Every structure is written in C-alpha cells, then in structure tokens.
Amino acid sequence: MQNQDEINRLTALVQLLLDEAKEQGASAAEAGLSIENGLSVTARMGDVETIEHHCDQGLGVTVYIGQRKGSASTNDLSETSIKETVTAALSFARYANEDAYAGLPEPSWLATEFPDLDLYHPWTLTADQAINMAIACEDAARSYHADITNSEGASVNTHQGIRVLGNSLGFLHGYASTRHSMSCSVLGQRGDSMQRDYWYSVAREASKLEPGPEIGRKAAERTIRRLEGRKLSTRQCPVLYAAEVASGLLGSLIGAISGGNLYRKSSFLLDMLDQPIFPEFIHIHEQPYLSGALGSASFDAEGVVTRTRDIVADGILKSYVLGTYSARKLGMQSTGNAGGVHNLTLDSGDDDFNGMLARLGTGLLVTELMGQGVNMVTGDYSRGASGFWVENGVIQYPVEEITIAGNLKHMFKNIVAVGNDVDYRGNIRTGSILIERMSIAGE
C-alpha cells in the first residue's frame, strides 16, 4: 500500500462518515477504519501446504442520540455504504435504552500528539521466498534428531495495515503498522512416548525475526526434551514459570483490575487500590511509547492518550485499567486502556534462566499450561501443566499430566524472584517468575 496517500484517503473516509452522522441527526459519533494486506505460507514435510494472500478492510461506527447508543459496521467503503451504515447505527440507537455512562471520552482525555513509534516496516517478500524460508525452518527441525518423526509445519507470515480512528470531538488520526512472524511445530516419538512442541518469532521488522533454522531447531529441541515425561505424586513445592508462560500471570492481574470486572464487582482485587498485592520489589508498568514494540500506541481504541505509568510500584496497586465507560461507572478517569494495555512490563531481577533454576532449587519448572482454570471472582487458580522436575537447580526429567493450583492473591504475594530472561514476543514483557509454593496434583 502507498503509505501516506492511503492514510490520507482513509482519513477522509472517516471524516465523511462523521459528517454524515451529524447530518443524519447524531449528537455524537465515533468511527474506526482498518485495512490490512499480507501473505501467509505454510510448508509441511518439505512441501507447500498453503499459500494465502490477505486483503481485508472494515469500518465500524458508533453513534449517540443523547445517552442512547447504536453501532454498525461494513466492509464496503463506498459513499453509499457509509451512508447506509450510519443510518443503521442510528436506527439501533433510537431503540436503545438510555445509559447515563455512555458517550465519547472527555475532550481533555484525547491524544493531541502522535510521535513516530517506528511501527511500519513493510517486507517485500514473494511467495517463493516465503516458501523457501518455511521449508528451511522445518528442515532444521526435522533433521535435528532421529526421534523427530512428524511435523505440523512451519509458517511465514507478513502483514501490513492502516488504522484510522476519529470522533465528532475533532479527534482524527491514522497510522500504519507491520507485523511479521515465523513459527514451527514438530512431533517426536520415543517408544510409547509422543510429544509435540513449537517455537516462534514475531517482530515489527523482518530483520529482527530469529533466523528460520534457529526457530526450527528450538522447536525440535523443545519437543525432544519433553519425551518420556513422568507424572508427579501430589505435593507442594516451589514453582518456576518459564518466561513464555509467565505472561499469563500478568494477564490474570490485568483481568482483575480491568474496569468491567471492577464495576461488576467480579474481581478478587476489588477495593485493593493503593494496597500491597505483591512483594515490595515488584514493579509493573506500561511503556506505550517504546520504539518498534508490539504493544506501542499513542492512543487507545477510543482516542484517549496513552501514558507511561505505574500499575504496581513497590508491590502496591497504583492504578486500574480503564476505558471511558468503566471509568465513568467507577467515578474515575480513563487510563487510556480501551482495547487493552500497552507494553505491560514486569521489571526483571539479576538472575538469568540458569540463575532462576538455582533459586528454584528443588521444584517444578512449568513450560506449558492448559485449560482456563482461573476464577476471577475468588482468585482460585487451577491449570493443567507440563514441564520439568528440578533438583538442586538442575533439570532432572520432563513431567506431564499434572495440575498446579493455588490462589492468585497468595501467588502474587509469594513471588520470590523475576528473571532477566524476558520474552519480548508480545504485549506483556516479563522474564521467568518464581513462586515460593504451590500445590501439585498428580498421581
């Protein structure tokens, strides 16, 4: 796509929609438009399995008649379709109940500055090139060890898109971004033991992806080391969450302090603002302006400015995660989190992964979690898990078919250390997390 010309064209379409909403009688309106294209290739067992070219677009509008709200969407960006979409949204609004908390953000909350966050790095990748990369990635995995017996394939993906957001308060801004990834998943078998594992890399800029053969080797290595897993007897012990699964703990924190769960009183962290919920060394914060990071943004899904801010400092909960509606329900101000957090970061300690194993001593290293066993109301936590049993800081053997359980309040309080082996492949950035003690349900 021609970057700035396309942004200008789409911005003009959003302005047209806002003008149309006003003309049709809306007291306020907001609209979001996105367009994306890309290429996805998957190779399996040395052959091409799928080649997909993507080209998607969509336009959504929300209109208000006083405190009544209606929404509609379309993927047709013609002027006629825009008018019809506005008409549909207004017809829904006329039948909606009034909601005292509905409406656009306060004008003072909206972003007014839009720094270049280095989010756009298009990859001129042909299908043939992507095929060769995927095959090389999978070949590295399949040739790693004789016990690698099958493959779920390797994939190469590249996407670029433009997002434009505007509202009738005068906010109107668009920007381009890219996202590229490569992944591989293989199966291994030794006797009656069969396992699968994977690895992937993702970045805004293709040059920052891990090399394909390295991704394949990691996928194979992770698969091989899981073979001949054992069960554990039921016990209590320290648990070390590997960095790639530790982000789930922070995801549960964000769920508990998000506006919807708070105003519905369905959170185990209700009324815990300015209270200690972690050890004093824990610092969790948002960094929305990191250059080229996957979660960077200067405004949220409502146009509210994002801010570099503490969520937890010295172990104390300093802020909730709010959009406009939930903020009004709680009598507070939006934190710029409509649509989620932005580069949520848990500060690391001094230990690398081996140092964290030494801190663990004897206990469980968790590398994979299964199921959705988190009760957001009570904080009760129970997940299927697999990983490795560790003794004296040294991995002894793989374990499988176990369940780890606890309560998130206690788990948060009993974090012993955070590793500096940070996983940067998502919007939540954390190293491995060591918890003093959890229950293990096994044989």
Q: Which of 360, 352, 354, 417 is nearest to 237 (CA)?
A: 360
Whether 220 has a pLDDT exceeding 70, the answer reads yes
Whether 59 and 34 share a structural domain: yes
Tokens linked to 246: 């530790």
Whether 369 and 407 share a structural domain: yes
Apex 134 CA angle, 128 and 138, nearest 5 = 145
Q: Which residues are CB-contacts of 353 (< 8 A; sequence separation ≥ 6)?
A: 242, 243, 419, 421, 432
DSSP state letter for 210: P
Whether 344 and 407 share a structural domain: yes
- Select from 226, 254, 271 the last residue of a domain: 226
% of the chain exceeding 90 in pLDDT:
98
Q: How far is Cα 184 from Cα 236, in angstroms, rounded to an integer?
A: 34
Residues 294/179, Cβ–Cβ less than 8 Å: yes
How much is the pLDDT for 3?
Answer: 80
Whether 23 and 150 share a structural domain: yes
Signed CA dihedral, 355, 360, 361, 366: sign only: negative
CB-facing half-sphere around the CA of 86: CA atoms within 13 A? 25
Tokens linked to 90: 């207004």
Q: How far is Cα 405 from Cα 407, in angstroms, rounded to an integer?
A: 7
Q: How large is the average pLDDT for residues 394-408?
A: 96
Tokens linked to 238: 């320290």
Give residue 332's Cα distance to chain centre.
Answer: 25
DSSP characters over 5-28? HHHHHHHHHHHHHHHHHHHTT-SE
Report the CATH number that the domain containing residue 167 is assigned in CATH. Answer: 3.30.2290.10
How much is the pLDDT for 372?
Answer: 83
| Total number of domains constituting the chain | 2
Apex 190 CA angle, 238 and 201, nearest 5 = 60
Whether 201 and 82 share a structural domain: yes
Whether 1 has a pLDDT exceeding 70, the answer reads no
Q: Which of 365, 370, 435 is nearest to 407 (CA)?
A: 435
Whether 194 and 287 share a structural domain: no
- Select from 175, 207, 226 the last residue of a domain: 226
Q: Which of 161, 160, 198 is nearest to 182 (CA)?
A: 198
Tokens linked to 95: 């039948």
Angle at which helix 3-23 crosses helix 79-95, to 10 degrees, equals: 40
Give the pLDDT confidence of 32-67 residue by residue, as tens digits: 999 999 999 999 999 999 999 999 999 999 999 999
Whether 443 has a pLDDT exceeding 90, the answer reads no
Residues 196/186, Cβ–Cβ less than 8 Å: yes
pLDDT tier at 2, thresholds 50, 70, 90:
low
Q: How far is Cα 393 from Cα 357, in angstroms, rounded to an integer?
A: 5
Whether 242 and 207 share a structural domain: no
Q: How far is Cα 399 from Cα 226, in angstroms, rounded to an integer?
A: 8
Give the pLDDT confidence of 281-333 residue by residue, as tens digits: 999 999 999 999 999 999 999 999 999 999 999 999 999 999 999 999 999 99
Give the pLDDT confidence of 242-292 residue by residue, as tens digits: 999 999 999 999 999 999 999 999 999 999 999 999 999 999 999 999 999
Question: What's the chain's average pLDDT?
Answer: 96
Q: How far is Cα 105 from Cα 82, in angstroms, rounded to an integer?
A: 23
Give residue 270's Cα distance to chain centre.
Answer: 24
Q: What is the residue whose two structure tokens read 């979001």? A: 32
Query: Does residue 342 sit in helix, strand or coil?
Result: coil
Whether 269 and 395 share a structural domain: yes
- pTM score, whole prediction: 0.95
Give the pLDDT confidence of 68-116 residue by residue, as tens digits: 999 999 999 999 999 999 999 999 999 999 999 999 999 999 999 999 9
Q: How far is Cα 192 from Cα 108, in angstroms, rounded to an integer?
A: 64
E strand residue ranges, 66-171: 68-74, 148-167
Whether 391 has a pLDDT exceeding 80, the answer reads yes
Over the range 90-124, which residues count as b (16 or more CB within 10 Å of their CB) and which as e? bebbeeeeeeeebbbbeeebbbeeeeebebbbbbe
Whether 173 and 310 share a structural domain: no
Whether 189 and 269 share a structural domain: no
Whether 23 and 161 share a structural domain: yes
Q: For residue 98, what are the domain limits?
A: 3-226
10 Å CB burial of residue 262 (0-12, 13-18, 19+) is buried
Whether 245 and 217 share a structural domain: no
- Select from 191, 226, 261 the last residue of a domain: 226
10 Å CB burial of residue 296 (0-12, 13-18, 19+) is buried
